Amino acid sequence: MKAGIYARISQDTFDTTLGVQRQIEDCTREAKRRGWEVVETYVDNDVSATRSKVRPAYVRMMSDIEQGHINAMIVWDIDRLTRTPRELEDIIDLADRMNLSMANIGGEIDLSTPQGKLTARIKGSVARHESEQMSRRLKRAFTQRALSGKPHSYAPYGFTRTEREGEVWDEVNEEQAEVIREAANRYVAGESIRAICTDLMRRGIPAPKTNNWSATSLRQILLRPVNIGLRKHNGEIIGKCNADPLMSESLFNQVNARMFDPERIKHAQGPKNKYLLSTIARCGKCGGKMAGQAKHEFNSKKIPSQYYCKECYKIRRKREPIDEIVTGAIVARLGDPKLVSALSKDVTGELPKLRERMDGLKARLDIAADNFAEGTITGEQMKRINTKIVPDLDELKRKIGHLEGTNPILSLSGANAAERWANAPLEIQRKVISELMSVVIMPAGAGGKFNPELIKIEWKV
């Protein structure tokens, strides 16, 4: 199969965080899974475009299909592909004529059967509907329903629509509810929404409406008052609704507390690493960064805390034994007098020379900046000088830092290393590990036994 990937940046879809890079990555993985060769990638930017504007990549793709350059197509979801029912009908025609294979993430878009066509048409019109302003009439109907505690026209994720004592009632759908509760528990335990979404997708757990979990939709699901049997309208809890509670009030409150914790929001610049080796340890299969995952329960099975590869997802190992091995190795090394002398032997001789060199580089940067300001060199030349000098400067700063003792390695090494290590904050431990060693986690061999040799440690110093 010669496949093309189609991705579109769009503002009108449910989740604006779905970047184009992410779409392409997911589609590439899907192609690999199917054994399709990706020969073209088509990307359109729809963000600022009016609806009638042509999409150049889309047009190019249609003509490539027409000419047989590609005979398969992968999109993240059907709503990325078409914006109007007419466009969809064009694709359906073309797929018919050219015998085009189509796939979305985790699924097949089978336009060769009436059922497949119907599904695509319904999805297309649902997507359109969602992007349109709700009419006043509908809004009024919703208000009335909300006030009477009656559910909307479909059961929310986690519930099944039934009837109880002559009334429409949403009862808990255990399978979906378990996913929500797991996510809530993991979120409360400190994992990020994004990490939980990634994990749900890795495990192939379908999201409501689509196959893909987005941070926006998961967050919204966790915060729904319906989770504890309450109904909200225009931002206010207005009473009980016709639904059984899906989680305990205390869990629900904890989720809310973390989500709206002002301290956390203030510090929410990127996720903080909670584990000793997350993003430090590398995957022995693809070289990708490993991430840590908290222990959790799934389908009443206890899953221990693990490291997993964030890139290929092929390696997943229990966290604690790995942390133990690395801690053991690093403490032994820190206690080794040779390390201390290796790190501090040059304090007297080397330091002045390094400082001199650093001053020299700084002066060159200053001169370049002056020249640029005076117009004697171009911005391009200035940039080249910078890219040459700045890395050297950083390296010098690092070395000088070592020698001046600002390096935490020196403060943790020597006698009593084990005790000092145990008392050091996680961030310092992580810094010392990444300065001193590289850790590669190899795939587990046959049998369930933990083999320490499959954790490869290399010393940098």
Residues engaged in binding Zn ion (CB under 5 A): 283, 285-286, 288, 309, 311-312
CB of 315 to Zn ion, least distance (A): 6
- What DSSP assignment string belongs to 10-55? -SSSS-TT--HHHHHHHHHHHHHHHT-EEEEEEEEE-TT--TTS--
CB of 360 to Zn ion, least distance (A): 42
The residue (of 88 and 195) whose beta carbon lies closer to Zn ion is: 195
Closest to 44 in 3D by CA, of 60, 68, 33, 26: 60
For tokens 């990325």, name the residue.
Answer: 80
The residue (of 197 and 309) whose beta carbon lies closer to Zn ion is: 309
The residue (of 151 and 284) whose beta carbon lies closer to Zn ion is: 284
Q: Are 441 and 290 in contact (CB under 8 A)?
A: yes
The residue (of 286 and 424) whose beta carbon lies closer to Zn ion is: 286
CB of 312 to Zn ion, least distance (A): 3
CB of 282 to Zn ion, least distance (A): 8
CB of 189 to Zn ion, least distance (A): 25
Q: What are the C-alpha distances in Å from 95 to residues 14, 109, 344? A: 27, 11, 69
The residue (of 279 and 386) whose beta carbon lies closer to Zn ion is: 279
CB of 301 to Zn ion, least distance (A): 24
Q: What are the C-alpha distances in Å from 13 to residues 47, 58, 77, 219, 350? A: 10, 18, 11, 16, 59
The residue (of 291 and 339) whose beta carbon lies closer to Zn ion is: 291
Q: Are 214 and 14 in contact (CB under 8 A)?
A: yes
Measured CA to CA, the distance from residue 296 to residue 322 in angstroms comes to: 18
For tokens 């020249």, name the residue.
Answer: 371
Handedness of CA 80, 83, 88, 90 (dihedral sign): negative
